[in-house]
């Protein structure tokens, strides 16, 4: 740690861990409901569990991105954050908005729009919170000694993410128009600007972990995020195939979303190549695993599994089935959850001063969670394909087909237990690190020297 | 070999061009001449139905136009499939509707609210979905 204010990141990451744990709990509630064990229905019906599960995901990932920005920006701009006090206020207000939203979902207070369930009244608080966050980040960058490409890409991602939240706040009488602009938020976040954030964090980690020249890494970062927008923006069309808008999206969405895996492939190749090219041997092996893992799994989850059902001819049958849930789980895990876990793994030794770089629990956490998630995705994938065949080819009733795929959710729950064990170990290690300390400021020098040796 | 400034130009140039095309296509596809939704049939009752749809997060379990929770049936064209009386009875029921054991929340809606949701489903049922309306599960059954 080079700057005292970077310690703020710790509390964002701690909130991440808490929200992630809760997300998993609600995931289990949904999984058990799918196999007929819905004893909590009276208090937590499926739609509540689902809204909480997906919203917690969004909130903990955003919290992680914010924490990452609070750690990365001072180091990139070579100065302290302009205000630590306001950063804490921002964190507390973010937690309050999250708690209010999630509590409301248990009392039928929501907007009922997939992924954007937060009621409009709370949307304004979200906007105020994000503006405060961006104010701190942008002012720090502006007053900094240097403006790097890594910081620029990360900040652009965060600014665009904030701007793109706005179309989701507009009311439309038509369900079709509503859905159209809802995807401006959801798709352009997940398959657009969030990739900028991911790219920024990935570039920062690669610079730190591999020792490859910043200029080389940042040059390729531009190419990757360029590919992301080139394919991802018009790729939004794959959500418009069958929701009641013009057929032109079948062509545009089909072509450009088929190109989307290229950006993820480039990211995976980039990470692996930089790792192999790097001559410096950073001791933080756990962070390295999560970093390279994020680049590879995001290619498989977001790139390949997305491609599997993105062409209009395939999507005609898979639209609105568990195939989407399968793709979403592996894409979010690889692209965003893993990169947040990577930056946390990198940051924790630096801000606590405890150089627990290469420990068995860390490796177990990585492998158990990854194997567990892969198992869950395979189970959901099989359930999805069976559902498509039974419902859309054989014309079976929805609930009859659901009975047939029940067994795959039992398999999913077994794998989810493995995943949870891995995440449990990760959180245990996080807690074991302890709190950040000013003493860690001195130790950054040692880390730089380790890198050179 | 690609320089950093060329890479930067690729990023900013590509982003600007694709965003402009995207905005252009949005305007084109939402133009009244390209409407596939019978927009003029969106009455106050349909809007009320949409409010109820959102206020109760029906999308958290069901799906509409292929979007939702995949836990309960797709409701595009549900009125044609199940008929308005059954739908209204389910919405007004004081006990959870539980086909095949999977429970729905008992919403105990009023007659007026149930009518509004049926109007909303009726409007949805008339949308041209580029062929999806013929594939989505319950309709595949109707084809036979």
pLDDT-derived band at B134, boundaries 50, 70, 90? confident
- Across the interface, whether the CB atoms of A229 and B99 are under 8 A apart is answered no
Residue A453 has pLDDT above 90, yes or no: no
The residue behind tokens 């966050």 is A133
CA-CA distance, A47 to A30, in Å (whole number)? Answer: 9
Q: Dump pLDDT digits (tens) for A376-398.
A: 999 999 999 999 999 988 889 99
With CB atoms and an 8 Å threshold, state whether B47 touches A245. Answer: no
- Angle among Cα B39, B24, A236 to the nearest 5 degrees reads 80
Identify the closest residue of chain B to A53 by CA–CA distance. B60
- Report yes or no for ipTM above 0.85: yes
The first and second tokens of residue B118, run together, are 């049926």
pTM for the full predicted model: 0.95
Q: For residue A280, count other CB atoms closer than 10 A to its CB.
A: 13
Angle at which helix A440-452 crosses helix A338-352, to 10 degrees, equals 110
What pLDDT digit, counting tens, does each position of B63-116 carry? 999 999 999 999 999 999 899 999 999 999 999 999 888 999 999 999 999 999
Q: Do A316 and B135 touch (CB under 8 A)?
A: yes
Give pLDDT tens digits for A40-70.
999 999 999 999 999 999 999 999 999 999 9
A411 exposure class (CB count in 10 Å sphere: 0-12, 13-18, 19+): middle
Closest alpha carbon to A212 in A115, A281, A122: A281
Q: Hey, of B99, B135, B139, B144, which one would you mutate to test binding to chain A, going by the most A CBs within 10 A of its CB?
A: B135
Q: Which two tokens stand for residue A404?
A: 């047939």
List all residues 6 or more positions away from A77 whose beta carbon is below 8 Å from its beta carbon.
A140, A141, A143, A144, A145, A146, A147, A151
Reported as a single tens digit per residue, the pLDDT across A172-222 is 999 999 999 999 999 999 999 999 999 999 999 999 999 899 999 999 999
- CA–CA separation, A79 and A3 (whole Å): 7
Which residues lie below 8 Å from residue A413, measured CB to CB, with a gap of 6+? A28, A31, A32, A35
Task: Fill in the DSSP letter of residue B74.
Answer: B
Beta-carbon separation of B70 and A400 below 8 A = no
Q: Are the CB atoms for A213 and A282 separated by under 8 Å?
A: no
Q: What is the domain partition of chain B in residue ranges?
A: 1-34, 40-143
What CATH number has the domain spanning A4-452? 1.20.210.10
How is residue A190 annotated by DSSP? I
* Partners of residue B14 in chain A, C-beta under 8 Å: 226-227, 229-230
Dist. CA A186–CA A126, nearest whole Å: 16
Residues 49-108 of B with CB under 8 A from A: 50, 53-61, 63-74, 96, 99-103, 105
Confidence of residue B140 (pLDDT cuts 50, 70, 90): very low
Residue B101: left (phi > 0), alpha (psi -120 to 50), or beta? left
Q: How confident is the model at residue A446 (pLDDT cuts 50, 70, 90)?
A: very low
Q: Which of residues 298-317 of A touch B (CB under 8 A)?
A: 316-317
Percent pLDDT > 70 in chain A is 97
Q: State the best of A34, A234, A238, A242 to mutate against chain B, taking most chain B CBs within 10 Å.
A: A242
Largest CA distance in chain B: 71
Interface mutation target, options A33, A167, A176, chain B, most CBs of B under 10 Å: A176
CATH of domain B40-143: 1.10.760.10
Q: Name the residue facing A175 among B29, B64, B130 (closest C-beta).
A: B64
| DSSP 8-state assignment for residue B68 | E
Distance CA A417, CA A419 (A): 5
């Amino acid at each position: 740690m080079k700057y005292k204010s970077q310690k703020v990141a710790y509390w964002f990451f701690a909130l991440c861990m808490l929200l992630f744990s809760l997300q998993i709990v609600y995931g289990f509630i949904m999984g058990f409901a799918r196999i007929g064990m819905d004893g909590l229905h009276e208090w937590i019906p499926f739609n509540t569990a689902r809204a909480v599960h997906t919203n917690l995901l969004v909130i903990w990932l955003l919290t992680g991105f914010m924490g990452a920005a609070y750690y990365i920006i001072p180091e990139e701009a070579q100065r302290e954050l302009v205000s630590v006090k306001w950063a804490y206020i921002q964190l507390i207000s973010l937690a309050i908005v999250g708690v209010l939203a999630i509590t409301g979902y248990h009392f039928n207070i929501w907007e009922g729009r997939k992924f954007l369930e937060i009621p409009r009244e709370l949307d304004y608080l979200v906007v105020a919170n994000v503006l405060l966050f961006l104010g701190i980040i942008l002012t720090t960058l502006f007053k900094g000694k240097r403006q790097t490409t890594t910081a620029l890409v990360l900040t652009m991602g965060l600014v665009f993410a904030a701007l793109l939240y706005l179309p989701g706040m507009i009311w439309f009488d038509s369900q079709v128009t509503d859905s159209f602009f809802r995807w401006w938020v959801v798709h352009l976040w997940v398959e657009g600007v969030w990739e900028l954030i991911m790219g920024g964090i990935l570039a920062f980690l690669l610079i730190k972990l591999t020792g490859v020249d910043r200029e080389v890494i940042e040059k390729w970062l531009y190419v990757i995020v360029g590919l992301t927008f080139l394919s991802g923006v018009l790729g939004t069309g794959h959500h418009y195939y069958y929701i009641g808008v013009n057929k032109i999206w079948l062509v545009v969405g089909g072509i450009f979303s088929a190109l989307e895996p290229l950006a993820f492939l480039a990211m995976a190749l980039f990470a692996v190549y930089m790792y192999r090219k790097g001559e410096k041997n950073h001791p933080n092996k756990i962070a390295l695993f999560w970093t390279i893992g994020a680049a590879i799994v995001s290619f498989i989850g977001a790139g390949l599994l997305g491609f599997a059902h993105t062409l209009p001819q395939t999507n005609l049958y898979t639209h609105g089935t568990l195939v989407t849930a399968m793709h979403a789980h592996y894409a979010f895990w690889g692209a965003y959850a893993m990169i947040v876990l990577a930056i946390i793994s990198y940051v924790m030794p630096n801000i606590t001063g405890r150089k627990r770089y290469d420990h068995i629990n860390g490796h177990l956490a990585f492998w158990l969670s990854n194997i567990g998630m892969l198992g869950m995705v395979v189970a959901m994938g099989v359930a999805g394909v069976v559902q498509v065949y039974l419902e859309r080819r054989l014309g079976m009733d929805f609930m009859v087909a659901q009975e047939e795929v029940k067994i795959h959710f039992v398999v999913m729950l077994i794998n989810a237990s493995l995943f949870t064990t891995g995440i449990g170990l990760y959180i245990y290690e996080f807690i074991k690190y302890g709190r950040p300390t000013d003493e860690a400021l001195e130790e950054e020098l040692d880390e730089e020297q380790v890198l050179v040796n | 070999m690609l320089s950093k400034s060329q890479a930067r130009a690729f990023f900013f140039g590509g982003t600007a061009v694709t965003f402009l095309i995207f905005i252009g296509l949005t305007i084109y596809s939402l133009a009244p001449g390209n409407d596939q939704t019978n927009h003029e049939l969106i009455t106050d009752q349909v809007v009320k139905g949409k409010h109820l749809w959102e206020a109760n997060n029906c999308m958290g379990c069901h799906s509409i136009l292929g979007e939702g929770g995949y836990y309960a049936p797709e409701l595009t064209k549900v009125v044609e499939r199940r008929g308005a009386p059954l739908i209204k009875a389910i919405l007004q029921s004081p006990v959870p509707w539980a086909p095949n054991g999977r429970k729905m929340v008992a919403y105990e809606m009023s007659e007026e609210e149930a009518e509004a949701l049926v109007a909303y489903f009726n409007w949805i049922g008339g949308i041209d979905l580029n062929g999806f309306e013929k594939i989505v599960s319950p309709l595949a059954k109707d084809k036979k």
